[in-house]
Amino acid sequence: MEILKRWWQNPLTTYYLALVLLIIIAWEVRDFLSLTLFTIIFIYLGNAATMGIERHVHLHHLWSTLLVYILFLGILVAAFGQIIPPLVSEASSLPQALDTLIKTYPQLETSVTKLVKNLSQNASVISNGKMLFTSGIGKLSRLSSGVETIVLAFFFSFIFNLTKNQLKTFAHAFTRSRFAGLFVPMGELILKFVHIFGTVIETQLVICTINTLLMVLGLWAIGMPSLLILGILVFFLGLIPVAGVLISLIPLTAVAFITGGLIRVLAVLVLVILIHMFESYFLHPRLMANATNLPIFVTFITLIISERIFGAWGLLVGVPLVAFFLDVFDVQLKPKRITSEELADKK
């Protein structure tokens, strides 16, 4: 009984018990992973911007928070306002481009007609087509659900940053409760993960910026028009792991086909593949390793495994999770600095 009492009074016992409870809670709410991570991202970025304004301009917290979120909304509206009209205009000229292509190469019309006739007589192709159509409808519904998740997360982050002081008072009340020994380490662990995850998000923004610059230079080299609009589109879609690259291919290939035909489409595909390989095999592991002090090999393996476990989110969550657990288990990746007092004691 005395052994159990000493074990329970050990600070590490409640620390790791809090860790287990957080893991269980995270597993139970895994269906809300996207909403949770988007909310954390918006809270971290919004809080950093708000604190920066308060430090340099000395505005009240209420006004600085409103200013940050109004500016962010304004940038989004202006960006999409610049992107959507030209894309709609380009899409409207797509049928004319196809008609010109068929007139230039008349044999294409014969081949396409024969292919459609053969496919229409194949029952398995019709069945697969129905399945593909149903799958496409399902993906569109998931896309609308994703937009709803982002909007909700943005709203939650705004309320969080606006009432940050009240939430601090609310959270501090738990440290004076009967189970303070459990709530305190839980709060420390949550703050530790948010800090590491925020560092990774900042690194992801740097990666998106570098990718966008490389993409704009490549598009300029192959003669693509509307570089500013396409650059804004690539940057925002680049914030979405893996899926963002695939989504950006739709407008890029459409504009390439309208303005330069199949040769420019092929050039865009090669450019996207090269930049994506550069990001996946060099830029992402190298910058993530620098941000978390993990070896590049460990970072690379973590990205591969976490992508298999968590899907696209694994590219953002995997590295901070590994760094978080190394910190929790007190694995020192950086050599500890010896103070002058410690050096004098050794002498």
> For residue 7, is it within any domain?
no
Run of H or E residues at 185: helix 180-221
How confident is the model at residue 260, as a pLDDT? 75
> For residue 6, is it within any domain?
no
Distances (CA, A) of 302 to 83, 192, 346: 35, 19, 39
pLDDT, averaged across the chain: 74
Lowest mean pLDDT among 29-38, 151-160, 240-249, 301-310: 240-249
d(CA 329, CA 153): 31
226 Rama sector, left if φ>0, alpha if ψ -120 to 50, beta otherwise? left
d(CA 304, CA 5): 43
d(CA 29, CA 343): 49
How confident is the model over 82-107, as a mean pLDDT? 59
Tens of pLDDT, residues 202-219 = 887 888 888 888 888 988
> For residue 10, is it within any domain?
no
What band does 339 get if pLDDT is binned at 50, 70 and 90?
very low
How confident is the model at residue 133, as a pLDDT? 47
Distances (CA, A) of 265 to 103, 256, 257: 19, 5, 6
Q: Tell me the CB-side half-sphere exposure of residue 205, using CA atoms within 13 A.
A: 10
> For residue 255, is it within any domain?
yes
How confident is the model at residue 137, as a pLDDT? 45
> For residue 327, is it within any domain?
yes
Tokens at residue 142, please? Answer: 């998931």
Tokens at residue 311, please? Answer: 């899907």
How confident is the model at residue 343, as a pLDDT? 45
Tens of pLDDT, residues 254-311 = 778 777 778 888 888 888 888 888 877 777 777 777 777 777 777 778 878 887 877 7
Give the closest residue to 257 by CA, choosing from 268, 246, 248: 268
Tens of pLDDT, residues 6-45 = 666 676 778 888 888 888 888 887 778 778 888 888 888 8
Question: Model-level pTM?
Answer: 0.65
> For residue 51, is it within any domain?
yes
How confident is the model at residue 46, as a pLDDT? 85
User: How many structural domains compose the chain?
Assistant: 1
User: Residue-wise over 65-93: b if at least 16 C-beta within 10 A, else e?
Assistant: bbebbeebeeeeeeeeeebeebbeebeee
Q: Please write down the long-range contacts of 322-331, taking CB distance under 8 Å and 24 or more positions apart.
A: 322/292, 322/294, 322/298, 323/196, 323/292, 323/293, 323/294, 324/192, 324/193, 324/196, 326/294, 327/192, 327/196, 328/19, 328/189, 328/192
Q: Is the pLDDT of residue 48 over 50?
A: yes
- 332: DSSP letter: -
> For residue 48, is it within any domain?
yes
Angle subtended by helix axes 296-310 and 284-292, to nearest 10: 110
For residue 40, give its domain range: 17-333
Give the closest residue to 16 by CA, choosing from 185, 184, 132, 239: 185
261 Rama sector, left if φ>0, alpha if ψ -120 to 50, beta otherwise? left
Residue 338 main-chain phi, psi, to 5 deg: -95, 120
Tens of pLDDT, residues 103-142 = 665 655 566 566 555 555 555 544 554 454 454 445 444 5
> For residue 168, is it within any domain?
yes
How confident is the model at residue 265, as a pLDDT? 83
